[in-house]
């Protein structure tokens, strides 16, 4: 990819409702990898039963990849048999387009290929028409004032929307797809998905801490948070080599919508302080997907007990690696 092409890059981060079947995840990721699309990362969590995929490319290629990925999700995921701690309304649950290159923007401009809101609309229209999954537009792409925030669009999730649909999607519908639900396609700025895992705590405490730190309830700016149980983690759980009896863990799961306003270090400090006041402790924290390098500037990952951290978890590092590999294979 030439240097001028870098200024036209758009990021896309599909959130898929599958985190327990690696072979299904791999097939879905491969579907998103249309020609011209770089797959920078995919991260699965069995408790959330969710996979976050990080894509980079120019707008038209990402739209093609989104339609192919949506088709694979609808074919391989049945939400009637899906249970996880993360809210969801679709097999391909969320499809955000995010400005990255210098020429790309959240909304507006003369070139629709550089307009993330326009890309979300194009992808949403095609997913509804070609895959049969209705699409709601959110973020900067929202056509309804009340649908700017993703939680307002998703509501209480697949089961509730299927039983009593209270809003007509922007494309397709009016009812949900019987197994794949609906997709929220939108345009937003880059965010950091950041989780803090607690030990010696119960779910009630995790939920109280989540309420205390999220912006909606008077907490940290630009933070969404929820407290969730982690049944697949803890002593003796999958991937834990320490042995011994199972140990229940809980998590404060956060989206840092503006990492400049509330970086991971500030979110960690707030959660750790509240946990300590209640006799609990931080076991570890994690970044889901990739984070911009600036979000961790001047931070020692050890101070955040970041699990498995390396420079490869930074968006810019992974993009450089992907571009280098792409050039070498030409």
Tell me which residues are annotated as active site. 86
If residue 196 lies in a helix (H) or strand (E), which one and from where to where?
A: strand 192-199
Beta strands 92-99; 135-139: pairing state: unpaired
Instruction: Please provide the DSSP assignment of 91-146 as one string.
Output: SEEEEEEEE-STT-BSS-SS-GGGBHHHHHHHHHHHIIIII---EEEEETT-SSGG
Q: For residue 47, give the nearest of 241, 249, 242 by alpha carbon.
A: 249
Burial bucket for residue 157 (CB in 10 Å: 0-12, 13-18, 19+)? middle
Task: Provide CB contacts within 8 A for 144, sequence distance 6+.
Answer: none
Query: Angle 108-110-112 (CA atoms, 0-180°, nearest 5)?
Result: 70
If residue 270 lies in a helix (H) or strand (E), which one and from where to where?
A: helix 264-277
CA distance linking residue 107 with residue 129, whole number of Å: 23
């Amino acid at each position: 990819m030439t240097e001028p092409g870098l200024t036209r890059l758009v990021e896309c981060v599909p959130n898929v409702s599958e985190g327990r079947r690696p072979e299904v995840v791999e097939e879905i990721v491969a579907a998103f990898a249309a020609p011209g699309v770089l797959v920078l990362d995919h991260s699965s969590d069995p408790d959330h039963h969710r996979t976050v995929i990080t894509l980079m490319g120019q707008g038209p290629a990402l739209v093609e990849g989104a339609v192919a990925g949506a088709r694979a999700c609808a074919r391989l995921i049945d939400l009637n048999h899906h249970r996880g701690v993360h809210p969801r309304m679709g097999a391909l649950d969320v499809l955000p387009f995010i400005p990255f290159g210098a020429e790309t923007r959240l909304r507006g401009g003369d070139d629709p290929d550089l307009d993330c809101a326009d890309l979300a609309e194009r992808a949403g229209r095609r997913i509804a028409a070609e895959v049969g999954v209705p699409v709601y537009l959110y973020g900067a792409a929202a056509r309804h004032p009340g649908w700017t925030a993703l939680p307002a669009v998703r509501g209480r999730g697949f089961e509730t929307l299927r039983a009593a649909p209270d809003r007509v999607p922007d494309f397709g519908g009016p009812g949900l797809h019987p197994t794949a639900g609906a997709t929220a396609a939108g345009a937003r700025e880059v965010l950091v998905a950041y989780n803090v895992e607690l030990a010696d705590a119960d779910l009630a405490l995790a939920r109280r801490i989540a309420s205390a730190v999220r912006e909606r309830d008077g907490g940290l700016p630009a933070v969404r948070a929820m407290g969730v149980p982690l049944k697949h983690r803890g002593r003796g759980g999958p991937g834990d080599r320490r042995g011994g009896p199972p140990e229940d863990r809980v998590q404060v799961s956060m989206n840092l919508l503006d990492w400049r306003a509330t970086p991971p270090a500030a979110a960690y400090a707030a959660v750790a302080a509240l946990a300590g006041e209640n006799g609990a402790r931080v076991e570890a924290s994690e970044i889901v997907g990739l984070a911009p390098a600036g979000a961790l500037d001047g931070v020692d990952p050890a101070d955040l007990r970041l699990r498995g951290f390396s420079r490869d978890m930074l968006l810019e590092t992974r993009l450089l690696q992907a571009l280098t590999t792409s050039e070498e294979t030409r």
